[in-house]
């Protein structure tokens, strides 16, 4: 999917790590796709969010909601795509990857 590839490329460009995508279109889940990335630090997550917004909004991507109340785990809702930006400790602790693997295999 070109939108997913663009998001992954933008995250890689700004040094996000361990980027994983999940295609959940065939599953009973709240969104069609999930992208998870590890940030280098909490401030890095805010920088990634800003980079995604400034690059994707002019391309017509709509940001329905963002939860940036905790810089350790930022959630970006693009409607059919949810992006989760975690610090390593939060990613390990909440294990969203493990949870989503019960729905589908990562790509």
Give pLDDT, residue 93: 96
In tens digits, the chain (107 residues) has pLDDT values of 699 999 999 999 999 999 999 999 888 888 999 999 999 988 999 999 999 999 999 999 999 999 988 999 999 999 999 999 999 999 999 999 999 987 655 55
Give the CATH architecture of domain 2-101: 2-Layer Sandwich (3.30)
Cα radius of gyration (the chain):
13
Q: Are 106 and 20 in contact (CB under 8 A)?
A: yes
Largest alpha-carbon pair distance within the chain? Answer: 35
Domain boundaries, the chain: 2-101
SS3 87: strand
Can you name the residues that pair with 34 across neighbouring β-strands? 22, 82
Give pLDDT, residue 104: 55
Q: 42: which residues sit within 8 A by CB, 6+ positions away?
A: 71, 72, 87
């Amino acid at each position: 999917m070109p939108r997913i590839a663009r998001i992954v490329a933008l995250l890689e460009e700004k040094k996000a790590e361990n980027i994983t995508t999940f295609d959940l279109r065939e599953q009973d889940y709240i969104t069609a796709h999930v992208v998870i990335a590890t940030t280098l630090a909490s401030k890095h997550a805010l920088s990634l969010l800003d980079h995604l917004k400034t690059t994707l909004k002019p391309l017509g991507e709509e940001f329905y909601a963002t939860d940036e109340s905790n810089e350790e785990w930022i959630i970006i809702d693009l409607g059919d795509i949810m992006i989760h930006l975690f610090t390593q400790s939060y990613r390990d602790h909440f294990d969203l990857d493990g949870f989503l693997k019960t729905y589908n295999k990562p790509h």
